[in-house]
Amino acid sequence: NWPGGSYDPETNILYVSSNSSVTGLAVVPPYPGQSDMAYIQGNAATGPRTSGGAGSSVGGGRTEFSPAQRQRPQSSRGTPPIGIRVQGLPLLKPPYGTISAIDLREGTIAWQIPHGQTPDRVAQHPMLEGTDLPRTGQNASVGTLVTKTLLIAGEGELTVDENGVRRAMLRAYHKTTGTEVGAVALPA
């Protein structure tokens, strides 16, 4: 779930995707027997975090709990909202996701573009009706592939096209300018 970037050794350009979001981090009481600490990472909606990396539970790793141990501790704060939004719209100003071409010789960003169609929850929001929205990009981690002339990247989120068909796009950009040169719809 953490795709890497693409490096072009002929031009010394590194292509990476990035996204912006606001998230709430919290601590909650652990499951019985899970920890000797009073509070650990988690939230009231999903409970304490129960997994880490692969391997043993010493210093991380996956932990299995009996059904009795999985009883969710009660929060005194109520249920948090899903995501951080204002009237259903993201709190952050777009772009939500970008692809950047980083010139490693100069240490500069050669170009940066919003990557991904505007999410439906934004494009179809009643408060934005009649607004001509530019492409905002998507808050999704995507991998990139660089070729002799192109940079290729898929979208991480499904959107609905003008005919009501859900799909994600596979997009090709000119690698020196970031200009989109083609796109193919991938069905949901």
Residue 120: helix, strand or coil by DSSP? helix
What are the helix (H) ranges across 47-186?
Answer: 120-123
For the segment 27-38, what is each residue's pLDDT rounded down to a tens digit? 888 888 888 888
Dist. CA 175–CA 8, nearest whole Å: 10
Determine the average pLDDT of the residues in 155-162: 90
What residue type is 92 in one-letter code?
L
Q: Dihedral of CA 41/44/48/54: which sign?
A: negative
Dist. CA 122–CA 131, nearest whole Å: 11
Q: Domains of the chain (ranges plus CATH)?
A: 6-21+85-187 (2.40.10.480), 24-82 (no CATH)
Residue 1 vs residue 80, higher pLDDT: 1
Dist. CA 67–CA 63, nearest whole Å: 13
Judge whether residue 11 has pLDDT over 80: yes
Residue 149 vs residue 92, higher pLDDT: 149
Q: Could you tell me the two tokens for 112?
A: 């940066």
pLDDT at 13: 98
For the segment 66-89, what is each residue's pLDDT rounded down to a tens digit? 554 455 444 444 433 345 778 888
Dist. CA 123–CA 3, nearest whole Å: 26
pLDDT at 80: 36
Judge whether residue 57 has pLDDT over 70: no
Confidence band (pLDDT; 50, 70, 90) for 51?
low
Determine the average pLDDT of the residues in 6-31: 90
Exposure b/e, 7-39, CB count within 10 A at least 16 = b: ebeeeebbbbbbbeeeeeeeebbbbeebeeeee
pLDDT at 38: 87
pLDDT at 181: 98
pLDDT at 92: 87
Global confidence as pTM:
0.71
Whole-angstrom Cα Rg for the chain? 21
pLDDT at 72: 47
Mean pLDDT, the chain, integer: 83
User: Are the C-beta atoms of residues 28 and 71 closer than 8 Å to each other?
Assistant: no
What residue type is 109 in one-letter code?
I
